[in-house]
Amino acid sequence: MALQEPRIERRMKAMLRVHLVVIFTLIVYCLYAGFQRGDTSLAARLSQLTSWRNSGALKVQRATLQAQCANVRAAAGPPASFNPSSRLRDSNDHWVPGTPPTLIRNAKIWTGAGNGTEIVSGDVLLDRGLVVGVGSISARVLQAVRKNSRRDGSKAELRVVDVGGKWVTPGLVDLHSHIGVYSAPELNGAQDGNSRKAPIQPWLRSIDGLNTHDDSYELAISGGVTTAQILPGSANNIGGQAFVIKLRETAERSATAKVIEPPYLPSNSSGYRPWRHMKHACGENINNVYSQVRMDAIWNFRQAYDQARKVRDAQDAFCVRVEAGDWESLKVNENAYEEFPENLQWESLVDVLRGRVKLSAVDFDGIVRLSNEFKFPVASFHHGGEAYLITDLLKKTYGGAPALALFASNFRKKREAYRGSEFAPAILAENGVPVVMKSDHPVLNSRYLIFEAQQAHYHGLSPELALSSVTSVSAKAAGLDHRVGSIAEGYDADVVIWDSHPLNLGATPVQVYIDGIEQLKDPFVLNKPEEFQKVPEVPDFSKERADTVKYSGLPPLTGWKDEKKQAGRVKVVGVKSLVAYEESTGAQDDTPSFALKTLFDDKHSSSGRTVIIEGGRIVCIEGTASSCTISVRVGETIDLQGGSIAPALTTYGSPLGLVEIRQEASTNDGSVPDPLTGSVPSIVRGTGDGVIRAVDGLSFGGRSTLLAYKDGVTTAITAPSGGGFQRGLATAFDTGAPHSAVDGAVLQEETALHIAINFQISTSVSTQVAALRSLLFAGGDEEDASAWGRVRAGKIPLVVAVQSADIIATLLSLKADYEEATGRTLKLTFSGATEAHLLASEIAEAGVSVILTSPRPYPGSWEQRRIVHGPPLSQESTVTTLVKAGVNVGIGVIDEASGRNTRFDVAWTALEANGTISKSEAIALASTNLHKALGYSPQKTPDLVLYRGGDLFGFESKVVGIVSAQRGVEEF
């Protein structure tokens, strides 16, 4: 009851004062009157007085009880003044007076209307925190806006921004975010997203844990996200109430000021009742925290709802009596009625039962049953890895099918996400389920929420629904579609101007407005290819979608195809661009080396050229002098329809090949023992150096591995997993191979020696550096074949996973010391390296390679907080800063599920480089540069990939085959 106390106390005190004055006056009057009349029966008089006083108090109580009962009946939702078309709102309640009105001219406006189909060419006018005009705006409206601003005395002049035909959308609404409750950088003092006290805690509120200082706000806004639902974490079945906030900084700087519509709190009986929000979670997260199973979870819910139901029923029964005016029966004594039944612990669940909460939930069948047992609606289901398989069940949710909030491709980390599919959004939409794409920030960086919508679109969700999934549909699921998520008169002035059509890869805001306030100061604007101004024409994946449903989310994946061996001649037609390898032989030995070369890039030719491949090698190209002629008859023809041929990519950075389901130990190789922070069993050390080899733990045929293969990422380089200092020797393998015993599966058994030096390891950084120093200076001759011996002799690289610029500086000086002392060269590579840009020229000078495992950095920890933000916040990106300094740069991933998306990372990096990195240089980031940095020397010509419908630099192409020097052409 704590919340109500101040209010009640104040009211009681006020009432008491009034009563005292009244009683005193009456007593004086009565004494006077009695005295006048000579009435001696004072006692009788006083008793009459008491009853008058009581009846006054009862009257007040009756009014309160009637209001409380009216409150019980009231529905949640926006008041009439929020009806945008009625234009009753003359300003946004978050409007900051003095904000200049803004006219965005010459825009292509995706408004969100008509289920995302409406596109208006023209202008958008923002004033008083509202959209006040869309399309062609009359001089009269402009005049009124100018007059308004003079009347305010703010003297803010109308700003006119001509966007030259650029796309404008509503600000993005992230339905599932933990911004501000999980911190960036992550600090224990600001991890306020999860209470671990009990599985059921509907009384907790994310607003009470929201931190206003967090690096993520600026990043998310720079990606066009303006609104986010801040959910508690999922350590509880009911982790608490959620709050929907605008991400911008407010003058008040408080958490409360960020909340869009501060929801109804008990005892506010007046008027408008905004929607409330709450999260229910099921599954592995909670079950692990509380050692429970799914059966426990549903019982937890049922028990909680039973409590809430009792409170609600007591209220309803009570109110029947109040509404009937049955006051006599409600009296507890002469001066008081029974109290309105309330319970602050359960009141939020009572509101769920009354349909006044937008509920976010997971675990379908259980929650659908629960919603019908207790009769409450659900606004959205989240994560929903398997939702696309049970669309009919979703429709059985009490009150109708909720929206489904999903990731695009972040799957398989847990058993319950193993059947997750990139085709889920399209399949759900086909079945009439509203689709929301979400970040679960910081699980995915909310800044790139639009990338989730882009991937959903690439895999078959219509452009209208893909954009709606992060604007109007998410706004609706949050109960805020009357003011955000669309561009229309009367809506909040939250809009984004994009540098390209937002469904194109790398689409970046050039400006973002929240409540009409410009968010990006001096944004850096990228120059995008002209064809990126329209919706990308995505490939046809209908067969893949059908198979996904047919096989319950696990359609068979094939790697190498023995049965379709194509070592003979293959004619590939319709090729618009070709990047291939040039092979040369090293001067000292016969090790071949491979460099990338763009052989042609006929962007504007209509049909594309013909390329003949024989024995897995390109033997002739139409339009170039070559020893063969393309007219020769060949067995097989593959039409790439204006597609391209480019080198296959390499993935590095995740434990691909060593894990299948990260959270399932029985599916993984496990963690290696660390000689610095733990002990390595003597049986492992034996007489050797005890350095673990990743190749010994490899598993082939995993889903993430085969999906990488299918998407043209045919090489993986993986180091042993572990949380300590020494990881071991990495290995290079073919992602399509069936097992390690087949020829060509393992491409190079041992590549480089991998260690980590960082603040997370359970001994000091200085101790880690000391260990490295003593390992380097341990002596040994050129012939020492141990892992460290080869590092010392400069035969294999030492790859150090490191983030902090300060540790990087220490390692550079250690390298210099070592080389000076021994006269040898230490091959060194930094991996992770978020802060490497601060030492770009020193790193280049030292000849050290850098692999950015997050090419678009995120300040996830203290030692990686100094990021290069990238456009629109900075001109340079980490990659361009390092490349310009002359560093050999590679890019990688952290999650094994992202390996398959390497082509998107390559393309995105090139787009962010704004023309300063060529296509072949971009491909090198995930192939030749990476190989060099990691000590991988291919012994045969690496694979090429056939892309149909476009090249790998956008969303229009699809991988349709692999060209292998060993196996010929494999068509998918």
- State which of residues 712, 857, 871, 954 lies at the interface with ligand NAG (CB under 6 A): 871
Nearer to ligand NAG, 504 or 957 (CB): 504
CA distance 88 to 770: 69
Segment interacting with ligand NAG (CB under 6 A) among 270-278, 604-612, 781-789, 943-951: 270-278
Cβ 261 to ligand NAG shortest distance, Å: 9
Say if residues 380 and 436 touch (Cβ distance below 8 Å). Answer: yes
Question: What is the end-to-end Cα distance of the chain in Å, rounded?
Answer: 64
Q: How far is the C-alpha of 475 from the C-alpha of 634, rounded, in Å?
A: 56
Judged by CB under 6 A, the stretch of 81-89, 153-161, 250-258, 262-270 that binds ligand NAG is: 262-270
779 lies in the site for ligand NAG, by CB under 6 A: no
Among 217, 264, 381, 733, which residue interacts with ligand NAG (rule: CB under 6 A)?
264
Q: What is the DSSP track for 411-480?
A: --SSGGGTT--TTHHHHHHHTT--EEE--TBTTS-GGGHHHHHHHHHHTT--HHHHHHTTTHHHHHHTT-
At residue 670, φ and ψ (nearest 5 deg) are 100, -175
Considering only residues 527 through 566, tell me which ones interact with ligand NAG, judged by CB under 6 A: 527
Which residue in 398, 524, 541, 759 binds ligand NAG (CB under 6 A)? 524
Number of residues lying near ligand NAG (CB under 6 A): 16
β-bridge pairing 380-382 and 403-406: parallel
In this structure, are residues 517 and 101 in contact, taking their beta carbons and an 8 Å threshold? no
Name the 3-class secondary structure at 665: helix
At residue 746, φ and ψ (nearest 5 deg) are: -95, 115
Q: Which of 98, 165, 262, 681 binds ligand NAG (CB under 6 A)?
A: 262
875 is a contact residue toward ligand NAG (CB under 6 A): yes
Which tokens is 821 given? 């002392």
**Piece of the chain touching ligand NAG by CB under 6 A; list 267-275, 304-312, 366-374, 514-522:** 267-275
Structure tokens at 599: 């052989």
How far apart (Å, rounded) are the C-alpha atoms in residues 51 and 32? Answer: 19
Q: How far is the CB of 155 from ligand NAG (least distance, A)?
A: 30
Contact 321, 338 (CB under 8 A): no
Q: Closest CB to ligand NAG among 212 and 914? A: 914
Residue 66 DSSP label: H
CA distance 264 to 279: 17
Nearest distance from C-beta of residue 222 to ligand NAG, angstroms: 12
User: For residues 276 and 412, which CB has a smaller minimum distance to ligand NAG in the complex?
Assistant: 276
Identify the residue among 23, 30, 525, 557 touching ligand NAG (CB under 6 A): 525
Q: Which stretch binds ligand NAG (CB under 6 A): 352-360, 487-495, 523-531, 820-828?
A: 523-531
Query: 769 by DSSP, 3-state: which?
Result: helix
Question: Which of these ranges, 263-271, 374-382, 467-475, 703-711, lies near ligand NAG under the rule CB under 6 A?
Answer: 263-271
**How distant, in Å, are the alpha carbons of 54, 63, 129, 159 from that of 155?**
57, 47, 16, 12
Q: Smaller CB distance to ligand NAG: residue 273 or 948? A: 273
Q: Contact between 272 and ligand NAG (CB under 6 A)?
A: yes
Report the residue number, 327 or 524, with the smaller CB distance to ligand NAG. 524
Binding range to ligand NAG, per CB under 6 A, among 259-267, 716-724, 827-835, 940-948: 259-267
Measured from the CB atom, the residue of 54 and 914 that comes closer to ligand NAG is 914
Residue pair 890/929 in contact (Cβ under 8 Å)? The answer is: yes
Q: Which is nearer to ligand NAG, 113 or 567 (CB)?
A: 113
Give which of 911, 933, 910, 930 is closest to 921, Cα–Cα: 910
Choosing from 6, 38, 114, 823, the residue that interacts with ligand NAG (CB under 6 A) is 114
- Cα 500 from chain centroid (whole Å): 21
Q: Which is nearer to ligand NAG, 237 or 469 (CB)?
A: 469
> Site for ligand NAG (CB under 6 A): which residue of 58, 74, 265, 488?
265
Q: Which residue is nearest to ligand NAG (CB)?
A: 271
- Name the residue nearer to ligand NAG (CB basis): 71 or 439: 71
Which of 524/777 has CB closer to ligand NAG?
524
Q: CA dist 870 to 166, 219, 525, 822, 875, Å?
A: 20, 10, 10, 40, 6
The distance from CA 106 to its chain's CA centroid, rounded to whole angstroms, is 31
Least distance from ligand NAG to the Cβ atom of residue 118, Å:
9
The single residue among 48, 81, 115, 138 that binds ligand NAG, judged by CB under 6 A, is: 115
Choice between 58 and 525, CB closer to ligand NAG: 525
Residues with Cβ < 8 Å from 313, sequence gap 6 or more? none
What count of Cα atoms within 13 Å lies in the side-chain half-sphere of residue 363?
A: 24
Total count of residues recorded for the chain: 972
Nearer to ligand NAG, 272 or 972 (CB): 272
Question: Which residue from 558, 914, 918, 937 is in contact with ligand NAG, where contact means CB under 6 A?
Answer: 914
Asked if 361 contacts 378 with a C-beta cutoff of 8 angstroms, the reply is yes
> Would you count residue 250 as binding ligand NAG (CB under 6 A)?
no
Quick check: 488 binds ligand NAG (CB under 6 A)? Answer: no
Shortest Å, Cβ 135 to ligand NAG: 17
x/- contact string, 806-835, with ligand NAG (CB under 6 A)?
------------------------------
Show Cβ contacts of residue 785 under 8 Å, excluding neighbours closer than 6 positions. Answer: none
Report d(CA 813, CA 55) in Å as an integer. Answer: 87
Distance of CA 98 to the CA centre of its chain: 34
Provide the CA 751 distance to its chain's centre, in angstroms: 33
Segment lying near ligand NAG (by CB under 6 A), choices 132-140, 244-252, 522-530, 615-623: 522-530
CB atoms near residue 239 (< 10 Å): 27
**Tokens encoding 64:** 């309160």
Q: Which of 268, 558, 667, 861 lies at the binding interface for ligand NAG (CB under 6 A)?
A: 268
Is residue 110 close enough to count as binding ligand NAG by CB under 6 A?
no
Q: Which C-beta is closer to ligand NAG: that of 110 or that of 264? A: 264
E-assigned strands of 63-163?
102-110, 119-127, 130-135, 159-162
Least Cβ distance, residue 914 to ligand NAG (angstroms): 4
> Is 918 among the residues that bind ligand NAG (CB under 6 A)?
no
CA distance 308 to 952: 54
CB of 271 or CB of 635, closer to ligand NAG:
271
Binding residues for ligand NAG (CB under 6 A) = 114-115, 262, 264-265, 268, 270-272, 524-527, 871, 875, 914
